[in-house]
Structure formats: C-alpha cells, structure tokens
Chain A
Amino acid sequence: MAEPLTLDAPAPRRCLDWLPFVLPGMLLSTWLLLTGTGHLPEYVLPSPGRAVLTAVDFVWGRWQLNAYSGTFLGHAAASLQRVALGFALAAVVGVPCGLLTGCSQWTRRLLDPTVHAVRAVPGIGWLPIAMVWFGVGTRTTVFLIALAAFFPIYVNAALGARSVRPLWVRAAKMLGASRRDLFFTVTLPAGLTATADGLRLGLGVSWAYLVLGELTGVPDGLGAVMMDARMNGQVEIILVTMLAIAVVGRLSDLLLLALFRRVLPPQPR
C-alpha cells in the first residue's frame, strides 16, 4: 500500500542540530586561548576551568576556595524572596489596574495618563529617592522591583482587556451578563493571554532591578555577592554570580510558564 499523503510537518530530526553550538564553541575556545596563553591575567578573566571549579564550590562548598564557598543557596534564597515580594506587589496592583484600564473608559481616563507620565522616568532614576525613603537595603530593592515590574504588567493587561471583541461583549450581555459578570467572565479570560505575557516580561524586569537594588549595599543576595567580589578582586565569583542569576531567572520564568499552562485555556486565539 502506498504511503498516505499528509501535509503534516516533517518528522522531527533525530540527530542533534549542531548549528546553535557553533557560536558558544567559538567563544569558549577564544576564552581558553586567551587565558591559556597568558594573554589575559587571572584578575581580568579567569580560565574556564577555574570558573567551573568556583561555580561548583559556590554551590556545594567542597573545596573552600574562597569566602563565598557554599553560600549560593543562602544568597539565592534572599534574592528570590525579594523578587517574589516585589513581583507579587507589581502583579497584585498591575493586573487589576491594567484590566480595568482596558475595559472601562472611565478608569482609562483616570489612570492611563498618570501611569505613562510616571513611566517616563527610567526605573534606575528612582534609586536615589528610594534610598532616601527606604534606606539602603531590602526595602529599596523590593520597591524598585515592584515599580519597574508594574509597567509591563499594567500595559499588557490593558492591551489584553482591550483585545476583547465587541461581539463577545454583546453575546455576554444578551445571555444576561451584568457589568460585573462581563469583567469576570469575558474581560478576564479574554485578556489572560496578554496578561500572562505581561507577567513574564515583569518577572524578567524584576530580576534586572533586583541586581540594581542589591548592588547598592545589602548584606546578602546574588547582586550583593557580585559587588562584594568585585571589591575583593574575585573576578571568577562575579562571573559565577552572573551565571547564577541567569539560571535562577530562567528557572523562575519556566515556573511561571508552567503555571500559565495550567491556568490558560488550551485553545488561545
């Protein structure tokens, strides 16, 4: 019997795609070459081997290579706590405000101009005044995260609520929906996809502002380790913390995505 004709996508390739690995491979070889031949001293760029050892030691503390040995979990926990708190604040305020702005002219006129005026000040520009208000430390960091993450969350939630088709609104009203029903049964689910995108962006921004907040002098946290290591001349620790932030940030993003997959309808439009 002949093979049935299908218009499906071609079967997934069995062998690994090598192309994405070319650039990292080249970078790594350059790194090895530069440090191995002694062109760059260790205090500017440590060798890859040393970086890996430091990373392992930073997490497990096997070899007691430096003062940061085995402290990863403590610092990561401190950072995560700040991100979680700041991001939660931003989401709790940003999602309802954004959705209301998107579906009600009145809220839009009330909120939108002010929000966008405040948004014109770059997040970093809030650092000095935050230090005056909240002092150096965790509260400033959480404030900066909440403020910076609020904007993408708000803007995208508003976009989601505005993407509601007028026909859905008519259909819901015709089936007996009150204004309140309309918000919870149409605006909210229809705007959920865009809101979820906003939350992801907000989480990314949270990690950026975490580092900014922690650079200013908190005793713990991944950003604090970075700054501390710079003063102690531990370049490899700076690199390892950068990597750690990337990994933890990506993990939190994946966690959020997994959460959305449970909540969002399987057939988004």
Chain B
Amino acid sequence: MDPAFLQSCHLVVNRVSKRFVANGESLWAVRDLTLCARPGEFAAVVGPSGCGKSTLLAMLAGFEPVTEGSITLEGRPVAGPGPDRGVAFQEDALFPWLTVAGNVGYGLRLQGRSRAAAREEALRVLNLVGLEEFADYYPAQLSGGMRQRVALARLLANRPRALLMDEPFGALDALTRMEMQQLLLEVWTKLNVTVLFVTHDVEEAIFLADRVYVLTARPGRVLRRVEVDLPRPRTPDTYTDPALTELRHEVLALLLEARNPSYVPEVVYPY
C-alpha cells in the first residue's frame, strides 16, 4: 500500500496488538494489526471466529485499551468511548425504560439539548430509518429488525465521524437482514459517514463494503485487503452479480488457507 492511501485515511489502526491474560497465561488476541479507512468509506472486516474481530472493534470504540500500537481518528488518538464513534452492537442495547424517541434523543440530551429539541431531531432521524410513527413505542413492543433500526437511528442522531458495527445483523432473519443492509447503505450514502463493519459473513462484507480486510485466525492480523469495485448503488440484484461470486470465492479461499496451522501469513501493512 502506498503512503498516498494512508494520507487519505482518517481512521487509522497502526500495528495494534492486544494481549489478554487468562488463567495465568497470556494470549495475543490481535497481533500487529494495521488497517485504515478513508472518510466516507465503507470498510468491512471479515475473519474466522475468534480472530479478534470484536476485540478490534472494542479497541476502536475505546472500551478496551490497546496493548501495543495506536488507533487514531482524524489524527487524534482514541482514548476512550466517545460520541464521535457510534457503535452498533451484536445484541440489543437499547434502553428498555426509554421510548424509541427517548432512545434516539439520548445522546442529544447528554449534549445539553432541550427535551423538545432532542425529540424534534430524534423524529427527523427516525424518519430516515422509516420508524417515525413508532416514536412513542417502547423497545419491548418492537420486532428485532425494528429495534436494530432504532439502534442505528440512535447512533446517527449523534452525528458520529465513524460508525463501528459489530455483526449488528447477525441475529436477524435472512429477509430482515437484507432489508437492514439496504437501509444501512441508503443511510450511509445520505450521511457520508465512515463505516467499519465487522462480520463473519463474507457475502455480507462484499455486498456492503468498498474494501474488505480479511483477518487471519488468532492472533488476528490482516491477511489481505480486497478491493470491491462492484457498482453502486448496490441492490438485491448485486447478490447475484458474478463479480460478487468471484470475490466471495477469493475471500473464502483465503480464509480456508489461513485456517491451516502451518500457514504463515504474509501480513499486509499499508505502508
């Protein structure tokens, strides 16, 4: 990778390692991992389970400190969770004691906006995800797919610089999942926000992203950076695009190869 590419990135994970100590043994979950994303780019991270995908995202979000290396967003090092990075979780993380509008307006209220202003903005964002008429429902009254939309709206209301998504659609059924992928792409196009999307689903990664980082098994490292030049906007027809199938085979072959214990990956650095 060339320095020009690095220069153009605003989210940079630079040679990051993460060590956990469990039962007196230390274990590298992530080792020397380097990746980056340009402003407004959709980047995906795929890898075998246990390769440290979620750990990587937790470090990006600021929930976990890095053991070595650095993570920067727009040149500022990440030192803890903050509203500039919105995190979408695998599980439902809405506040059950707040209404849909209350959940979406939560971050705005923290910023000191009035109740009325927060609600107005919440309704505007809910309109974006098509849930305006459910503003006064409680999360428990909604389906899993609707709750994920609310979770997305809650992130967007904060106008984050980057969205970090940790297999957010993993628990949804196939159809809802496709709807959510479409919705995410629509919102991403409209808001021009950087997305880092972690998933174990190779097809999902290729369908959504501009570029896919393929990780090795533990300790997680970048095995290959795969450029996805499928045309946008991506539609349900994209799923059957031969180019997508070809890329999918390529990534799957990489992943299978990386599972071999004797395999020594040629680790990719952007510079």
Contact = CB atoms under 8 A, between A and B. Distances in A.
Interface of A: 165, 167-168, 170-177, 181, 185-186, 189-190, 192, 265-269
A174 B138 CA distance: 21
Contacts of A181: 110
B89 A170 contact: yes
A266 B81 CA distance: 30
A102 to B, nearest CB: 16
Contacts of B50: none
A165 B95 CA distance: 10
A194 to B, nearest CB: 13
B140 interface: yes
Given A176-B82, A267-B138, A170 B63 contact: yes
Given A175-B106, A269-B96, 12 more contacts: A165-B93, A170-B81, A174-B63, A174-B83, A174-B85, A174-B86, A176-B82, A176-B158, A181-B110, A185-B106, A190-B97, A268-B96
Interface of B: 61, 63, 80-83, 85-87, 89, 91, 93-98, 106-107, 109-111, 138-141, 154, 158
Contacts of A173: 63, 80-81
A253 to B, nearest CB: 24
Contact of A171 (B85, B93, B138, B141): B93
Q: Which 9 A-B pairs have the closest CB atoms?
A: A176-B83, A267-B138, A175-B107, A173-B81, A265-B97, A171-B93, A189-B97, A174-B87, A167-B93
Contacts of B140: 267, 269
A175 B82 CA distance: 6
17 contacts: A165-B93, A167-B93, A168-B93, A171-B93, A171-B95, A172-B95, A173-B81, A175-B83, A175-B154, A176-B83, A176-B107, A185-B110, A186-B95, A189-B97, A265-B98, A267-B97, A268-B96
B141 A267 contact: yes
A174 B81 contact: yes
Contacts of A186: 95
A170 B155 CA distance: 13
Contacts of A175: 83, 86, 106-107, 110, 154, 158
A109 to B, nearest CB: 23
Nearest to B138: A267
Given A167-B89, A167-B91, A175-B154, A267 B96 contact: yes
A190 B86 CA distance: 22
Nearest to A167: B93
Contacts of B111: 176
Given A174-B85, A177-B110, A265 B138 contact: yes
A189 B81 CA distance: 22
A172 B95 CA distance: 9
Contacts of A168: 93, 95
A192 B110 contact: no
Contacts of B80: 173
Contacts of A171: 87, 89, 93-95
A190 B94 CA distance: 12
A168 to B, nearest CB: 6
A215 B248 CA distance: 82
A103 to B, nearest CB: 15
B94 to A, nearest CB: 8
Nearest to B91: A167
A92 to B, nearest CB: 23
